[in-house]
A and B are shown apart, each in its own frame.
Chain A
Amino acid sequence: MSGYVYVAGALSLLIAAGAMVAAVVAIAWGDLGMSVPAPVVQAVLVVWAITFLGAAAVFSRIAMSRLTVQRALRRQGPKGMILITPDTVREMAGVLLREELGVHRFRVHIRPQGEGLALQVTLRLPPGEEVPALAERLQSLLAQEVSAKTGLEVPEVRMVVEGTARPSRNR
């Protein structure tokens, strides 16, 4: 999803939280004749408002990250702009991880770094693999291939091992 969708989501959540705060104030100022005690309603609205504010903060963070990555993936050339979407880079990295390294359970995170991109691959170690050897192959393969195919610099490839994978039946 585009970063702008998350911006819209964050704004909607902020408006909703604002409306709840306004409702809490309105209840405090006047007797609205509710069947439920006013403090209970206020407490529920405050909890909702805090939840919505938290969600808005998460959405804003995702939006900022997506928009900055998208800016890093944009190159202005003499004939116009070339934009490679983050999903394309993720997909490309995914193919390399599956086909060249035999890694099947992973997540690829992209962030801008200088004029290029930094990649972080969080994975489950395939059976029989050693971390240092895999890290070396993964780092050189991703940096070289992604850079060659996209024309973007890849100064950093980080590998995070979050567990071990069971032997796959498919491969």
Chain B
Amino acid sequence: MAKDEELIGEVAEDGQISISRDVIATIAGLAASDVAGVAPPKGGAMPRGDAVRRLVDVEIAEGHVKLTLKVGVLHGRAIQEVAQALQTSVKNEVEKMTALPVDEVDVEVVRVVFPEEGRRKERSS
């Protein structure tokens, strides 16, 4: 098993199932991007596909997952509520898809993002 993979279940006859940190990060990132009010820390539009991994740091110890997300929050939204919704959504999604218990979802809100900032960046790219 590769170092960045975690065994999530073992069936002696059928073989073993392992899951990589990148997969967990992608699941968490996609769940985060669906939460209303969450924005990428550098502004602009939420990254799509595998790029959402950049928002998430994954730690796995003895089959338990700890996630750290660095995000921005859209201007006008209550930061505390967005962060709590983010924790719930990410924890549920990762536990549902991987069957790994998520002990902690730490959220670091690094800035307030303005909606027009995203539209400007999209127009310029």
Binding site for B on A (CB under 8 A): 75, 77, 79-85, 87-88, 91-92, 95, 148-151
Contacts and interface: CB of A to CB of B under 8 A. Distances in A.
Contacts of A149: 77-80
Contacts of A88: 73, 79, 109-112
Given A148-B78, A151-B80, A83 B106 contact: yes
B53 interface: no
Interface residues of B, number: 22
B110 A82 contact: no
B104 A85 contact: no
Nearest to B103: A80
Consensus secondary structure, chain B interface: strand
Contacts of B88: 79
29 contacts: A75-B80, A77-B87, A79-B88, A79-B104, A80-B66, A80-B67, A80-B87, A80-B104, A80-B107, A81-B107, A82-B83, A82-B87, A83-B106, A83-B108, A84-B83, A85-B108, A85-B111, A87-B110, A88-B73, A88-B79, A91-B112, A92-B79, A92-B112, A95-B75, A95-B112, A148-B78, A150-B79, A150-B80, A151-B80
A88 B79 CA distance: 10
Contacts of A75: 80
Given A149-B79, A149-B80, A151-B79, A80 B112 contact: no
B105 interface: yes
Interface string B44-57: 00000000000000
B75 A81 contact: no
